[in-house]
Amino acid sequence: MHMQSAASKSQIVDYYEQSEIDYRLVWHLSSQRAMHYGFWGKTARTLARALHNENKTLAALAHVTRQDHVLDAGCGVGGSSLYLAREFGCQVTGISLLSQQVRAAEQEARRRHLEELAHFQQADFTAMPFEDNTFDVVWAIESVCHASEKQEFLWEAFRVLKPGGRLIVADYFLNRKPTKAEKEILRQWLSGWAVESIDSVTDFTAKAERVGFINSSMQNFTSATAPSSRRMYWYSFVGIPGDAMSRFIGWRKGATKGNFHALRYQYQAFHSQLCQYGVFTATRPR
């Protein structure tokens, strides 16, 4: 089994290190601790509520309980881990490639008096430092897209799950084979967010089943994320010229160059139904 290539890992780390300020400015990072689309609806009419609602919805789909030990694979600055620890009183281990994200998550856990339940460490989810059969739930929100080969994550998720353990992945998936023009839309979007490629619904499901997962299901939550997708699109009209000016005067550099352009292209990919925001669930057999 191969871990993420050094090149792709460094690109992901550079992107998140340099784009953190963008998330703080426009995506409630300081309060919500999340870099996700969120799930909007009748009870979630603001971005903050949508981000909270995504955690709540996924926890219900994964059947999280107080007795579980959850792995938050690609935990960012710890928002989902802290939510699960607070709401369910369960043990959560969050992993990230970025040492600064781990430090920020640990600091927030102490601030919220959750350090006994929520633990964080720097690790690669395609080559994890955990024993077999460690976790009851493997949870991944908008992180598996960064794996250059998704099956490497799936092998590791299967290995560290206990028999009967649950996998839940919320991420972007292709609905169909892209045209030449659509390939360019995807390239502009994904490269801007340090993502090499995304799998189709069919391919990801087949890989999970090849690894050994059973009871696999993909639910389409694109409509629940649409307000965030539109919001990003409108931010791009301010962000692109602002980014260009910041680069001109030396405030910004390399890794975030495509970040604001990606906001425009992600909207096109979802709006044309080339992609979906899917929630994949599966179980390791007992």
In this predicted model, what pLDDT tens digit does every residue of 16-73 receive, in sequence order? 888 777 777 666 667 768 889 999 999 899 999 999 999 999 999 999 999 999 999 9
> Which structure tokens are listed for 233?
């699109």
d(CA 63, CA 236): 37
* DSSP at 5: P
d(CA 179, CA 41): 32
The residue extents of the domains of the chain are 6-174+196-224+275-283
The per-residue pLDDT of the chain, averaged, comes to: 90
Residue 1 has pLDDT above 60, yes or no: no
The pLDDT of residue 2 is 47
> Which structure tokens are listed for 28?
């409630």
Among left, alpha and beta (phi > 0; psi -120 to 50; other), residue 45 is alpha
Expressed in percent and rounded to 5, the helix, strand and coil fractions of the chain are 50, 20, 30
This prediction has a pTM of 0.92
Cα Rg for the chain, rounded, in angstroms? 18
The pLDDT of residue 239 is 59
Q: CB-based contacts of 184: which residues, under 8 Å, 6+ apart?
A: none
Residue 252: count other Cβ atoms within 10 Å of its Cβ: 20
Classify domain 6-174+196-224+275-283 at the CATH topology level. Rossmann fold (3.40.50)
Tell me the pLDDT tens digit for each residue of 62-79. Answer: 999 999 999 999 999 999
> Which structure tokens are listed for 121?
């460490």
